[in-house]
Every structure is written in C-alpha cells, then in structure tokens.
C-alpha cells in the first residue's frame, strides 16, 4: 500500500505539472484572442476611392496648400496636438517647417496625408478639400521622403517602381538624377541588384537617395521631406538639397527641418510652438526680428560647435 501510494503520488505530481502547463498555454492563446478582438475594434480608414468625388487627373496643378483652423488630436481622450493652425503654402514654393520637439511638425504632415483625420478645420489643396476625396486619390498625388527610408526585400527596380508603372528608361533617368546611376550600373545585375530586408546591404545615404529616386519617378507636384537629411552626413545632405533645387523647382516642397541651412534656403518658414503657428514669413524677415523664435533657433544652432539642436 505504501508503494502504491508513492506511485500514485508521483503520477499525480506529473499530472499537476501537465495541467499547469496546459493552463499557461491556454492563457497565452487567450491573449492572442484578446489582441485579435482589439484589432477588430480599430476604426477603419476612409475609402480609398470615392467615385462621386474624384479629383481631376491633373490635380494638383499648382500645389497650393491651405490650412483653415486645423485642429488635430490622436484620440478623443488625448489633448489637442494642433490648435487652430491657419496658413497658406503657395504653389511651387519651398516651405520650411521648424519647431521644438512636440510642437506638432510631424502631426501636420500626418494630417496632410490623412494618417490622422482632423477633429476640426480643413486642408485644401488647389481648391479641393482633401477630406472629401478618397485616400488613394490623395496619397497617390503626394510624395514623401521620410527620415528613415524603407526599402523592401527584392530588387532596386521593385523598390523604385513597385507597381511597375514606369519603363526602364524612366527608372534609369530617376537613378541618374538622384546620383545613383553609376552605382547601380557598377552592379552585375543592374536594376535587378538585390535589396535585403530593410535595405541592410545599402548605406543610409544610399537608401535615402533611393527614396529620392521614388519621388523623382513619381513627379508629384507636392513633396514632403520629414527630416529627410537628419540621418545622413553633410555631403549627402548638400547633394539632396541640390537635387531638390533643380528637379523640384516648380513643386511645392514642405520640409520639416533639422539643419538650419536647409531652412535658410526656403522661400517661407513656418515656426510651430505648442501646436500653434508662432511665425510664418520669409527667413530673412524672421532673422531681421531679433525677438523672433526663428532667430533664437538659428542663434542656438550657430552657438553650438558640435551636435544638432533639438528642432
């Protein structure tokens, strides 16, 4: 009886261990179900195409951007990020957007692409309210060069023209303009040169130039640079600025600035502070006003011998 009791006791211990393991696995699976339920409750984006409200095929022609009393928050229970932003970006001009961390620079760009729907106010591009058209019609007419460019696993051709809308000749033209033509021609596979996941086999500067090549290939009238040169060296920064001045001279270029020389070259500068428009004028006029916020930012940048101020 003692031996039988010991045997049953050991078996019971093993069964308890298996039960505990099963309960742990069940708890993990329940978490997965909870995540799926949470994702199913996320509100969907607006329709990609609204048939009754499609812009003309040539839109935008001038690239004029108007913001009227724009008010944006990320969620209903979160504070307002942009507060009654009202300004107008003339078509074909270079606009620099500056401000300290948390001032709303990136939020403004997200609202332009409708990654965040405004809580109030409107954004009008060439007399068309962007909230009235489909997301595909809006985003397909805009170009962006982000701070951290994304490259997909595949080839250079696939990364420049993922939808196969352009010929090889047009792709080579875009590569030559972005100063990548010689580098790609030196590759054995040319346009079929491999790109690893996240572009790990290409340098940060080259990935940024590939992103610039996409914009050149797309030829959109409005180009957004979200601190595009913050992660590259000064030489690559100067190269990108030179390409922008020559190839996008008739386009509206909105630049979230990280380096002061990038902003000085702009036609207009928008200074944001705490989600509001603090200043909006030409760089020279803002620099003439010694009390302006832009002047203080420039002075702070100039006074630092190393490092980049937190814009």
pLDDT at site 308: 45
Q: What percent of the chain has pLDDT over 90?
A: 14
- Does 258 have pLDDT greater than 80? no
pLDDT at site 230: 62
| pLDDT tens column, 3-53 | 888 888 788 888 888 889 999 999 888 888 899 999 988 888 888 888 888
pTM of the model: 0.77
Which distant-in-sequence residues (6+ apart) come within 8 Å of 257 by Cβ? 96, 97, 98, 227, 263, 266, 311
Domain topology for 65-151+202-303: Rossmann fold (3.40.50)
Which distant-in-sequence residues (6+ apart) come within 8 Å of 83 by Cβ? 71, 274, 275, 276
| pLDDT tens column, 59-114 | 888 889 999 999 998 888 888 899 889 999 998 899 999 888 788 888 999 999 99
pLDDT at site 167: 87
- Does 309 have pLDDT greater than 70? no
The domains of the chain are located at 65-151+202-303
SS (H, E, C) 237-304: HHHHHHHHHHHCCCCEEEEECCCHHHHHCCCEEEEEECCEEEEEECHHHHHHCCCCHHHHHHHHHHHC
- Does 231 have pLDDT greater than 70? no
| pLDDT tens column, 284-303 | 888 888 888 888 888 877 76
| pLDDT tens column, 189-206 | 888 888 888 778 888 778
pLDDT at site 290: 84
Q: Can you tell me the mean pLDDT for 236-257?
A: 83
Mean pLDDT score of the chain = 85
pLDDT bracket for residue 310 (50, 70, 90) = very low
């Amino acid at each position: 009886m003692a031996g039988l009791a010991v045997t049953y006791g050991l078996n019971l211990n093993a069964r308890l261990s298996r039960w505990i393991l099963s309960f742990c696995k069940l708890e993990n699976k329940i978490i997965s179900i909870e995540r799926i339920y949470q994702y199913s409750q996320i509100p969907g984006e607006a329709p990609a195409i609204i048939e009754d409200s499609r812009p003309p095929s040539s839109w935008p022609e001038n690239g004029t951007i108007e913001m009227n009393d724009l008010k944006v928050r990320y969620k209903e229970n979160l504070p307002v990020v942009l507060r009654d932003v009202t300004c107008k970006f003339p078509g074909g001009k270079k606009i620099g957007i500056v401000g300290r961390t948390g001032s709303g620079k990136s939020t403004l760009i997200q609202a332009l692409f409708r990654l965040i729907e405004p809580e109030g106010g409107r954004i009008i591009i060439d007399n068309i309210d962007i909230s009235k058209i489909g997301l595909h019609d809006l985003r397909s007419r805009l170009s962006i060069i982000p701070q951290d460019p994304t490259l997909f696993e595949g080839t250079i051709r696939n990364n420049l023209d993922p939808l196969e809308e352009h010929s090889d000749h047009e792709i080579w033209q875009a590569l030559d303009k972005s100063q990548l033509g010689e580098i790609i021609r030196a590759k054995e596979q040319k346009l079929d040169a491999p790109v690893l996941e996240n572009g790990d086999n290409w340098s940060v500067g080259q990935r940024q130039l590939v992103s610039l090549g996409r914009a050149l290939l797309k030829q959109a009238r409005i180009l957004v640079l979200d601190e595009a040169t913050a992660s590259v060296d000064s030489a690559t920064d100067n190269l990108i600025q030179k390409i922008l001045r020559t190839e996008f001279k008739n386009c509206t270029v909105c630049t979230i600035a990280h380096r002061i020389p990038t902003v000085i070259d702009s036609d207009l500068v928008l200074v944001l502070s705490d989600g509001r428009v603090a200043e909006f004028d030409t760089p020279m006029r803002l620099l003439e006003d010694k009390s302006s916020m832009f002047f203080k930012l420039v002075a702070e940048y100039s006074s630092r011998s190393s490092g980049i101020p937190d814009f």
